[in-house]
C-alpha cells in the first residue's frame, strides 16, 4: 500500500524539528504501524526537509539561508527566491518523496508547499495565485496527506530560535514579516481543515508530542495502517 506524506509546518522556533525527530523515534519504537504485505516487512519512516532534502537541495538551502549574510552582498530577489524553493521542491518530489511513497514509506517532512504560501505569499507579498500554480508545477500535484501546523505567536517562536544561536537570513527578517507568515498559516488552516490540523505549540515539548501521538494514532487507524 502506498505510503503517506506527513508535513510539519509553522513559524521559526515553533518546534517542528524537535517534534519531527521525536515523532520519528516514537514511530520506530512503538509498533503502531501495521507491517507491509504478506512477508511482514516494516514500513520505512523517512525524515526529510525543505529546503535541503536532496543533494541539489542542500546546495540551494545554503544559498537561500546564507546569501547576503557572509558572502554575496546582493540580496536574493523575491521572485528568484520563490523559484529556488520551487526547484528544491521539484527535485525533492521526484528524487525522494514519490519513490519512497511508492515503497510504502511514512514520510515526515519539515516544511512543504504551505511554507511557500506563508513566506513568499503572505510574508513577501508575492501573488498567491502564481504561488499556487508554481506549487502545482513543482509537486506534480503531490499534496500532503496530513499537515501538522505547530501554532505559536511569531514573537515567541523567534525568541526560541534566537536563543539557539546565530540567526540565518530569514530569521533576521523583521517581526512584522514573521507575523504576516503566521497569518498565512492561520488562513491556510482555515481554508483546508481536513488536511491541516492545528496544534498549540506554546505548550511544553512533552504536551505537544502527546498531542501529535494522539492525532497520528487516529489517522493511521482511519487510513488502515495502524494496529488497534
Contacts to ligand Z5A by CB under 6 A? 10, 12-18, 50-51, 65, 85, 110-111, 115-116, 119-120, 160-161, 164, 168, 170-171, 204-205, 208
| Residue 98 CB, nearest approach to ligand Z5A (Å) | 17
Q: What is the DSSP string of 33-85?
A: BPPBTTTTBPPPEEEEESS-SSHHHHHHHHHHHHTTTSS--SPPPHHHHHHHH
CA 207 to chain centre: 20
Query: Between 19 and 220, whose beta carbon lies closer to ligand Z5A?
Result: 19
Nearest to 150 by CA among 3, 2, 18, 5: 18
Minimum CB separation of residue 84 from ligand Z5A in Å reads: 9
Answer for the pair 16, 110: CB distance below 8 angstroms, yes or no. Answer: yes
Element at 173 (helix H, strand E):
none
Q: Which is nearer to ligand Z5A, 164 or 221 (CB)?
A: 164
Q: Where do the DSSP E strands lie in 10-71?
A: 45-49
Closest separation in Å from C-beta 208 to ligand Z5A: 5
Task: Please identify, using beta-carbon distances, which residue of 51 and 104 lies nearer to ligand Z5A.
Answer: 51
> Of the two residues 145 and 168, which places its CB atom closer to ligand Z5A in the complex?
168
- Please, what is the minimum distance in Å from the beta carbon of residue 166 to ligand Z5A? 12
CB of 44 to ligand Z5A, least distance (A): 22
To the nearest whole angstrom, how small is the minimum distance from the Cβ of residue 195 to ligand Z5A?
A: 17
CA torsion, ordered 18, 223, 2, 210, to nearest 10 deg: 10
Sign of CA pseudo-dihedral 100, 101, 104, 105: positive
Nearer to ligand Z5A, 85 or 185 (CB): 85
Closer residue to ligand Z5A (CB): 36 or 83: 83
| Grid cell of 215 as nine digits | 492525532
Contacts of 40 (CB under 8 A, 6+ apart): none
Contact 49, 110 (CB under 8 A): yes
Amino acid at each position: 500500500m502506498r505510503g503517506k506524506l506527513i508535513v510539519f509546518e509553522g513559524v521559526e522556533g515553533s518546534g517542528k524539528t524537535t517534534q519531527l525527530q521525536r515523532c520519528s523515534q516514537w514511530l520506530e519504537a512503538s509498533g503502531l504501524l501495521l507491517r507491509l504485505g504478506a512477508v511482514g516487512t516494516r514500513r520505512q519512516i523517512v525524515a526529510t526537509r525543505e529546503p535541503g532534502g536532496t543533494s541539489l537541495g542542500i546546495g540551494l538551502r545554503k544559498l537561500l539561508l546564507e546569501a547576503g549574510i557572509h558572502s554575496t552582498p546582493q540580496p536574493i530577489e523575491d521572485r528568484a527566491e520563490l523559484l529556488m524553493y520551487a526547484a528544491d521542491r521539484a527535485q525533492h518530489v521526484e528524487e525522494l518523496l514519490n519513490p519512497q511513497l511508492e515503497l510504502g514509506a511514512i514520510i515526515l517532512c519539515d516544511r512543504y508547499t504551505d511554507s511557500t504560501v506563508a513566506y513568499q505569499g503572505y510574508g513577501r507579498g508575492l501573488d498567491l495565485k502564481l504561488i499556487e500554480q508554481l506549487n502545482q508545477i513543482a509537486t506534480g500535484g503531490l499534496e500532503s496527506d496530513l499537515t501538522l501546523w505547530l501554532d505559536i505567536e511569531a514573537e515567541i517562536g523567534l525568541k526560541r530560535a534566537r536563543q539557539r544561536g546565530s540567526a540565518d537570513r530569514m530569521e533576521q527578517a523583521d517581526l512584522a514579516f514573521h507575523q504576516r507568515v503566521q497569518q498565512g498559516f492561520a488562513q491556510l488552516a482555515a481554508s483546508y481543515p481536513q488536511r491541516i490540523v492545528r496544534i498549540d505549540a506554546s505548550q511544553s515539548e512533552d504536551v505537544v508530542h502527546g498531542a501529535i501521538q494522539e492525532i497520528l494514532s487516529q489517522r493511521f487507524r482511519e487510513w488502515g495502517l495502524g494496529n488497534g
